[in-house]
Structure 1
Amino acid sequence: MKKKIEVLSVILFVVLVNLISVEALQASSKHKKTGDLKTVKAICDSACVPQDDQTRQLYLETENRCENMADKKLEPNIQADMEALYQEMRNYRRCMVWCSLFLLGGLLLAIGTSCILYCKYQRSKSLQAELKEKNDLLHHLSSLNHAYEECNFEKIKQFFLIEGSLNSDEKKKNATVLKKVCKIIFGKDSADWNDLFRVMNQLYPNYFDKIQLYFPVLTELEYKICCMTKSGVTNWEIANILSINMNAVYMRKTRIRKKIGAANRGDIVRFLDDRILMSLENNR
């Protein structure tokens, strides 16, 4: 009878231990990511530990079996979790490396672009300053050239005024002086109206050539009157240069107006300028 009771108690203990093992396995599945075996041990230790040697031995064997079962269940899960965590760390590290490379590349690109733009800006600024300096120099040279041609025109006008104020006898008497003056002014022995026309083309770009082109009905004397009127020579000076009286100058200008189609007593110079400008625009 006593043996039956002991066997029955052992069976009950085994059933109790199995129940405890099931609870331990459930607890281990809840804590598998952290590998917490202390929970299993705490559940097992919470059971009543038998006092006799035979039952204690059976209990210890059952406890060892429970621990082995828990280890067998936990080890694959822990290894899988560790591999997943390691792979995640590798992916994160790879992502950080790529992000760093992209940031570094963007920074280098921004620095390079800034350097290129700065160099272009400095180059453009230098070219603009150089261009401005050349334009100023060109304008200065143009002003000097205009002043030089005005001086030449004034010399030519004064020479023609002197020559026109002399009669034929005085010209013969002062031929040597006139020749020396011509040598100084024109670089040759005699005066030539082509010198005045050349200066007119310099002072007023191609003015003489244009009035010859667009107004071919005029005579050479009328071209001279137009050029001198354009340059500001007075009617009295024109009369002296051409060795004619004032009335002849007025009559010549009236004839010029009729030939070019200008209004009576109209401004010859303004009419010529307007017609030349209109003709140039029509030819474009």
Structure 2
Amino acid sequence: MKSCLFIFIFASLWGSCRNRYPSERMLNQAAQLIYSSPQQALKLLDSISPKILKRNARHNLYLLKVHAAYEAYQDISVYPPLSNTARYFQQQGDSTKAGWAYLFTGIMDSKNGYYEKASINLSEAKENAPRQDSMLLFQIHYHLGELYKLRRDQQASIESYQKAIEYHSPQNKYSNYEMGDCLLNTRQYAAARTYYKKAELNALNLQDSVNVAYLMLQIGISYSNTQNTANAILYTHNALKYDPNPEFQKQGYLLLSEIYLHRQQLDSARYYLKKASVSTDDSEKLQAQYYKQLYQIAELKKDYQSALNHYKKYTTYITDYQLNKTEERIDNIVNRHHQKKWQRENRRLVRQRMLLVNGSLVLALLFILLATYIGILLKKRREKYLNACQMIETLQHLCQEQNRCQDKFKELLLNKLEVSKKLAFISSYPHDKHQAFLKMYNEILGDIGQTDLNWDELYFTINYLYNNFQQKLKDKFPSLNEKEIQLCCLIRGGFKTDEIAFVIRQSVYSIHKRKTAIRKKLGMDERADILTIILSLLDNS
């Protein structure tokens, strides 16, 4: 069971990785086809599943789809808004993609009637667009002009169109439609027709009848404004053949009526007005155009009563239209949006500054506490160090005193041992002077100067002077009896054989005999030096 689950997970991951990289290659391929073949780009993009893409590629897919649809003259308002995509690319620092995403979101909002949102998103697009990206800036200013035009802000609209014309590059051959609109709205009619005709050829190649109709109507309007009524009528009639939409048909008939009105052909003008069949269900703009032409025809026919009635209706509809479109200036909306954004940014900066100040204060406090703590520790360590130095100095002094006392004590013990040796030496010679000296010595010092050895004192002296010789000898060689240990101690103390004989009250022969016994117990040769062998054995233990 576990192996099957592992195989399934591995296959899923492998399939996901396998599909992801071709999908990203298809995204790159579609991006290259956006302008030259937007329909093919859309087919490629529709074949990619967003689920297998990483976040960046997924947002790129959304943006490319809308961009391809826009270049294919499709209605992009049917797509989901790109607000999240715009913010994502803005956070990633990709200002170009953020600018395009905000632009398309603004176009969608404008088409859906959300003019306030549209103005804000177009403003964000303008703010994010790189200064060197002339194509993006052209599109932004063009659509700002369109938005101003919808809001009946004529001067701002013309300024935006003029700005768009400044950003238009001769190498940009994919914006003929928009460039024609910019030139038409700035009254550059001949130049506008040039771009409209280029866009018309492209729309015919794409078999986009709706845009062909729109472009022909715009060409007709440009001819109408230059008093070339014959071409204006020709292009308007051709436009009406391509788009059967009732709203578009009414616009075309109203244009034809206006052209014939300018030519003083009132019957033809009335004919096309009747074909327009504008009703109260139509927009205020269409009704205003309709009644404007009716009152102009009535005025030319000198039917002043009818002209007055039609004029009243015209003023009613044109006023409603203007009021409906000029609720609030776009500049005010954008300024208010920027003001709110700056206020949010200001609050964010204030919070950051407060956090920075508070953080700095906390860090400063922690630094002070840490410095104080370290200072206290250093002070304590210094005190400990000084105390330790003082103690070391005291101990060194005591050690020196002890060594001096030990040296003095050792000197006294050596002197005492030497005195004992001298006394033993003197005692071993029965001379009258020697005996007189010993008698006098005992009389003066009494018990302190006794010539007989005190073995406890001797053991203490030998152990102290010669590294516990007696104790080690006793522990190392338990076979030695007390007399033999005494003999070894006297030998270690430097006593000669005759001196030893006097001290332990035995003959020299007995001393030699005891030495022989010691050599046997310790496994020595008969003539071996007892002290040398014993010291060697004790050092090796």
By the TM > 0.5 criterion, same fold?
Answer: yes
Instruction: Quote the residue 1:234 is aligned against.
Output: 496
Kindly tell me: are residues 25 and 94 of structure 1, through their superposed partners in 2, closer, same or farther at Cα, counting changes over 3 Å? farther
Q: Which has the higher contact order (CA 8 A, sep 6+)?
A: 1
Residue 87 of structure 1 deviates from its aligned partner by 2.0
Query: SS of 2:332's equivalent?
Result: helix
1:274 aligns with 2:536: yes
**Deviations 1:213-263, CA, capped at 9 Å, x for gaps:** 333433444323211211222335334545666565444433322221234
Give the Cα separation in 2 of the matches to 1:264 and 1:67: 135
Aligned pair count?
229
Kindly tell me: are residues 191 and 126 of structure 1, through their superposed partners in 2, closer, same or farther at Cα, counting changes over 3 Å? closer
Unaligned runs of 5+ in 1: 1-13, 27-46, 48-60, 280-284
Unaligned runs of 5+ in 2: 1-148, 162-185, 187-321
- 2:428·2:498 contact (CA, 8 Å) conserved in 1? no
Instruction: Quote the residue 2:346 is aligned against.
Output: 85
Give the Cα separation in 2 of the matches to 1:15 and 1:91: 41
Q: 1:140 aligns with which of 404, 409, 416?
A: 404
Kindly tell me: are residues 190 and 276 of structure 1, through their superposed partners in 2, closer, same or farther at Cα, counting changes over 3 Å? closer
- 1:201·1:209 contact (CA, 8 Å) conserved in 2? yes
- 1:182·1:190 contact (CA, 8 Å) conserved in 2? no
- 1:182·1:191 contact (CA, 8 Å) conserved in 2? no
Query: Letter of the aligned partner of 2:533 in structure 1?
Result: F
**Deviations 1:117-160, CA, capped at 9 Å, x for gaps:** 45244444444333333332332222222112212222333333
Instruction: Quote the residue 1:19 is aligned against.
Output: 154
**Deviations 1:83-133, CA, capped at 9 Å, x for gaps:** 322322321331243135325524642563365245244444444333333
Instruction: Quote the residue 1:105 is aligned against.
Output: 366
Instruction: Quote the residue 1:218 is aligned against.
Output: 480
1:56-71 to structure 2, matched below 5 A, reads 69-71=330-332
**Deviations 1:12-67, CA, capped at 9 Å, x for gaps:** xx9996232346799xxxxxxxxxxxxxxxxxxxx9xxxxxxxxxxxxx99xx798
1:1-284 to structure 2, matched below 5 A, reads 18-22=153-157, 69-106=330-367, 108-110=369-371, 112-113=373-374, 116-117=377-378, 118-119=381-382, 120-166=384-430, 178=442, 180-185=444-449, 191-242=453-504, 249-279=511-541
Kindly tell me: are residues 76 and 94 of structure 1, through their superposed partners in 2, closer, same or farther at Cα, counting changes over 3 Å? same
Kindly tell me: are residues 171 and 125 of structure 1, through their superposed partners in 2, closer, same or farther at Cα, counting changes over 3 Å? closer
Instruction: Quote the residue 1:50 is aligned against.
Output: none
Query: SS of 1:184's equivalent?
Result: coil
Residue 78 of structure 1 deviates from its aligned partner by 0.4
Give the Cα separation in 2 of the matches to 1:192 and 1:128: 40
Give the Cα separation in 2 of the matches to 1:71 and 1:133: 94
Residue 211 of structure 1 deviates from its aligned partner by 2.2
Kindly tell me: are residues 250 and 22 of structure 1, through their superposed partners in 2, closer, same or farther at Cα, counting changes over 3 Å? farther
Residue 274 of structure 1 deviates from its aligned partner by 3.5
TM-score normalised by L of structure 2: 0.35
- 1:165·1:241 contact (CA, 8 Å) conserved in 2? no
Kindly tell me: are residues 238 and 84 of structure 1, through their superposed partners in 2, closer, same or farther at Cα, counting changes over 3 Å? same
Query: SS of 1:185's equivalent?
Result: coil
- 1:222·1:256 contact (CA, 8 Å) conserved in 2? yes
Query: SS of 1:165's equivalent?
Result: coil
Deviates more, 1:14-23 or 1:220-229: 14-23
Query: SS of 2:527's equivalent?
Result: coil
Give the Cα separation in 1 of the matches to 2:397 and 2:456: 36
Give the Cα separation in 2 of the matches to 1:209 and 1:277: 14
Give the Cα separation in 2 of the matches to 1:138 and 1:182: 31
Instruction: Quote the residue 1:38 is aligned against.
Output: none
Deviates more, 1:243-252 or 1:220-229: 243-252
Residue 203 of structure 1 deviates from its aligned partner by 2.2
Q: Percent identity?
A: 19
Give the Cα separation in 1 of the matches to 2:372 and 2:465: 55
Deviates more, 1:252-261 or 1:65-74: 65-74
